[in-house]
A and B are shown apart, each in its own frame.
Chain A
Amino acid sequence: MVDPRANYDVIVVGGGNAALCAAISAAEAGARTLILEGAPKAYRGGNSRHTRNFRCMHGEPMAVLTDSYGEQEYFEDLMKVTQGNTDEKLAKLAIRSSQECYAWMVEHGVRFQPSLSGTLSLSRTNAFFMGGGKALVNAYYRTAQNLGVDVLYEAHVTHLEREGDRIVSIDVEHQGQQHCLVSKAVVVASGGFQADVDWLADAWGPAAKNFLIRGTPYNRGVVLKDLIGQELESVGDPTQCHAVAIDGRAPKFDGGIVTRLDCVPFSVVVNKEGLRFYDEGEDVWPKRYAIWGRLVAAQPDQVGYVIIDSKSLELFMPSVFPPIKADTLEELAGKLGLPATRLQQTINEFNNACTEGRFHPTELDGLATQGLMPPKSNWARPIDTPPYYGYTLRTGVTFTYLGLKVDESAQVQGRTGPMKNLWAAGEIMAGSILGQGYLAGFGMTIGTVFGRIAGREAARYANN
């Protein structure tokens, strides 16, 4: 059992990837370290438990990574998705350090596997964790505990007391009791605020109440809000979040990877009025799924309906829930709760606008509709071969962009200069680097790189 009055050198707030990397690094540097994880043990690890890979620079084939992925290309990829909305120094630091992270992760218990079947396109850039993010989190908890790090689960940090350029104490609620903990140094790694739906609604309007949260319910941004409220510098657009279109039947929280739906490019998508609203075949799905999160969010009741026919059923990765199946469009409309005549009409118009041509499911095939608004620019085949299948689509939030501003040593910045004993790592500071957009696998890279730095720096400070 953890003694709340014990004197810790470093207290790490949060229990996901960034927190664990920080705690391990601090303990290895000789600091007496405590992890305060808000979730119970069964749900420890935040959003990190849902991840599958991290993006890793490398000059030549390296373990499970094929070919090479250099600093320049990595940086350009980042510039493309963020449209320049990044801090170049921090971004390059993350990119350059990602290569040595690989060996560090293996040393600390993480095991890798070749890119998963169905994700070949990532085999060059992303190293996949064997067993996924929860296996990674388990390995880090074991390593940390072997290093003597104490872990307190169900420890909700509610407030960090600031005096000038220092954090002097940490308020934490544990099993119904309030404790006030003191440590020499503090690392905050408690993620974004996406699980606080009210906060999302402040930023997005009431529509956000219908969003699903893809990851942990424990990232409610309590610490982030507390620190920003104490005039620490923030970065990132507070009104933005990364959202994708997922299966509408997914649970409110923690549905994770299996709720994704990859069938939009082969479908017609309508809103609850039975009307199309966007080009389903604009680009390959990995480049479009984030856009669809927003598109669906803009529809009435924040819901969309994907309609495919039997021709397309096996063209995409299976997802967790089986599609709704019907022999006629009318019956399908009934099962999905859509106006039947309208749906029939929409599909008829679409089918009539389809043209002859070569269909190719894995590349932009140019098989486009003619004279239809909005158009479908690729993979446009008539929906005409029963049985028909339908899915509902909803907006699934991955993370938020608002974060704390840090420098290259992960130190949190106040209005008048750095905080002497406060560091931040992971999602809570990722806004500095990912101002908008997302690059698959970069979240774990940021957490690993800055978690290690934060832990090391916090321990150095505590040791002096």
Chain B
Amino acid sequence: MQTIELVNLDAIAEARRQIEICNACRYCESYCAVFPAVHSKRAFSDGDIQQLSNLCHNCRGCYYACQYTAPHEFGLNLPKALAEVRQESWESHARPGAIAKIFHRSGTALSLFVVLAAALLVWLIQVAPKSSGEGFYSLMSHNAMVLLFVPAFTLPILLILLSLRGYWQTIGGEPVRWRHVVGAFGSIAKMKNLSGGHGDGCNFEAEDAFSNSRRRYHQATMYGFLLCFAATSVATLMHYGLEMSAPYGIFSLPKLLGIPGGVLLSIGTLGLASLKLKADRELADARVWGGEMAFVLLLFVVSTSGLALYFLRETRLLNELLSLHLGAVLALFLLMPFSKMVHGFFRLAALIRDEQCKA
């Protein structure tokens, strides 16, 4: 697996330079998982730096606390240095890497892709077989949807697994035990690394003021997404396993998961986008700001169009809404390996690895 060479060694060298200063200082020890991991070592391989970069949650606590930020000659900006390595680690482990680079960095490319996917859906809905049932299956049959979305989901997931395997080798990961996974999910469930260590939160949107806004909006986004995903999965199971087909009533499991999920995801992404407008771009990888913003908005489009589909299904807008929603979902799935979506996978891997190192 020739992946390491693709990572920009300048970014790694710069992050290493800063990490070594931190290792002599240690003042930020309790902010997050990065520092204890640093302090347990003296020398940092390229793989170590990539692992640290994926452990970093970009809370920025260590930037505002640092007595060595520019104009000081040591020029510390650890959140940025790690963000650049992290970004490059995702792009370099992705296959094909060139595609990842495009969609990570260009919000325009990502948006165009969504438009194309929606257009594709408009066309598909015209040509695809329809069922006689009510609701949107009258526009496109369930089987047709499954035929489209199952490969559109599983193939990207396969690509992500491949890139994760490359990452795992690069960082020298060991066989995963149950307790590593439990530890990692414990941290994710509360997004501990965005808590600032003291629980006051991170330093994202208002300089050195601590706030839990980003953490809360992220959890709304994450749990909302997972609920929506669960809703869709349950519906598929009900369709094939129990031969109960949509539309489902408001008190059915898919709706009980899907509606709160959609609401959470909409609120969460809107919140994340607005915070992102206020935050200092120079404390992250400024090269991917556009791609990240487009990704947040894509999630917003997915969730709000899904909700709209539910509430406006009896109207004449059904056709357009369905194309938009399915197109956005299709784009989200297809772009999973090539967009910000990989952050969840890489960060999960990094947290699992961190549990291994702690043990």
Sorted nearest first, the 9 A-B pairs with minimum C-beta distance are: A131-B65, A132-B27, A113-B30, A135-B65, A258-B24, A138-B208, A111-B198, A116-B26, A134-B67
Within 8 A of B (CB), among A187-204: none
- Whether A134 pairs with B20 at a CB distance below 8 angstroms is no
- Whether B66 pairs with A117 at a CB distance below 8 angstroms is no
Chain B proximity of A130: nearest CB distance (Å): 5
- Whether A254 pairs with B27 at a CB distance below 8 angstroms is no
Q: Which residue numbers of A lie inside 8 Å of B, CB to CB? A: 42-43, 49-50, 52, 111, 113-114, 116-118, 129-135, 138, 142, 251, 254, 256-258, 260, 314, 317-320, 322
CB-CB nearest in chain B for A319: B24
Interchain Cβ contacts under 8 Å between A and B, 7 examples: A130-B198, A131-B64, A134-B66, A254-B67, A256-B68, A317-B24, A318-B42
Please, how many angstroms separate the alpha-carbon atoms of A116 and B26 in the complex? 7
Please, how many angstroms separate the alpha-carbon atoms of A131 and B31 in the complex? 7
Please, how many angstroms separate the alpha-carbon atoms of A322 and B21 in the complex? 10
Within 8 A of A (CB), among B31-69: 31, 36, 39, 42, 61-62, 64-69
Chain B CB count within 10 A is highest, among A49, A317, A318, for A318
Within 8 Å of chain A (Cβ to Cβ): is B209? yes
Within 8 Å of chain A (Cβ to Cβ): is B271? no
- With a CB–CB cut-off of 8 A, which chain B residues contact A318? 20, 23-24, 42
Within 8 Å of chain A (Cβ to Cβ): is B29? yes
Within 8 Å of chain A (Cβ to Cβ): is B200? yes
Please, how many angstroms separate the alpha-carbon atoms of A354 and B281 in the complex? 57
Q: Which residue numbers of B lie inside 8 Å of A, CB to CB? A: 20-21, 23-31, 36, 39, 42, 61-62, 64-74, 197-198, 200, 208-209
- With a CB–CB cut-off of 8 A, which chain A residues contact B39? 117-118
- Whether A134 pairs with B65 at a CB distance below 8 angstroms is yes
Chain A proximity of B203: nearest CB distance (Å): 9
The residue from B27, B69, B73 contacting A131, defined by CB atoms under 8 A apart: B27
- With a CB–CB cut-off of 8 A, which chain A residues contact B62? 131
Please, how many angstroms separate the alpha-carbon atoms of A138 and B200 in the complex? 14
A320 and B24 in contact, given A50-B67, A131-B61 (Cβ under 8 angstroms):
yes
Please, how many angstroms separate the alpha-carbon atoms of A358 and B179 in the complex? 41
Q: Summarize B's interface: helix, strand, loop or mixed.
A: loop
- With a CB–CB cut-off of 8 A, which chain A residues contact B68? 256, 258
- Whether A132 pairs with B28 at a CB distance below 8 angstroms is yes
CB-CB nearest in chain B for A50: B67
Please, how many angstroms separate the alpha-carbon atoms of A319 and B31 in the complex? 21
- Whether B26 pairs with A117 at a CB distance below 8 angstroms is yes
- Whether A131 pairs with B28 at a CB distance below 8 angstroms is yes
| Additional 19 contacts, C-beta under 8 A, given A131-B62, A135-B61, A258-B68 | A42-B69, A111-B200, A113-B30, A117-B36, A118-B26, A118-B39, A130-B198, A131-B27, A131-B65, A132-B27, A138-B64, A138-B65, A138-B208, A142-B208, A257-B27, A260-B24, A320-B20, A320-B21, A320-B74
A114 and B30 in contact, given A131-B61, A254-B72, A314-B42 (Cβ under 8 angstroms):
yes
Chain A CB count within 10 A is highest, among B27, B62, B68, B208, for B27
The residue from A43, A130, A138 contacting B30, defined by CB atoms under 8 A apart: A130
- With a CB–CB cut-off of 8 A, which chain A residues contact B27? 52, 116, 129, 131-133, 135, 257
Please, how many angstroms separate the alpha-carbon atoms of A192 and B31 in the complex? 32
- With a CB–CB cut-off of 8 A, which chain B residues contact A319? 24
Chain B proximity of A271: nearest CB distance (Å): 25
Chain B proximity of A211: nearest CB distance (Å): 18
A132 and B65 in contact, given A113-B30, A114-B30 (Cβ under 8 angstroms):
yes
- Whether A258 pairs with B31 at a CB distance below 8 angstroms is no
Chain B proximity of A365: nearest CB distance (Å): 23
Chain A CB count within 10 A is highest, among B24, B36, B70, B197, for B24
- Whether B197 pairs with A113 at a CB distance below 8 angstroms is yes
The residue from B25, B28, B31, B209 contacting A142, defined by CB atoms under 8 A apart: B209
CB-CB nearest in chain A for B39: A117
Please, how many angstroms separate the alpha-carbon atoms of A433 and B120 in the complex? 79
- Whether A257 pairs with B71 at a CB distance below 8 angstroms is no
- With a CB–CB cut-off of 8 A, which chain B residues contact A314? 42
Please, how many angstroms separate the alpha-carbon atoms of A132 and B62 in the complex? 10
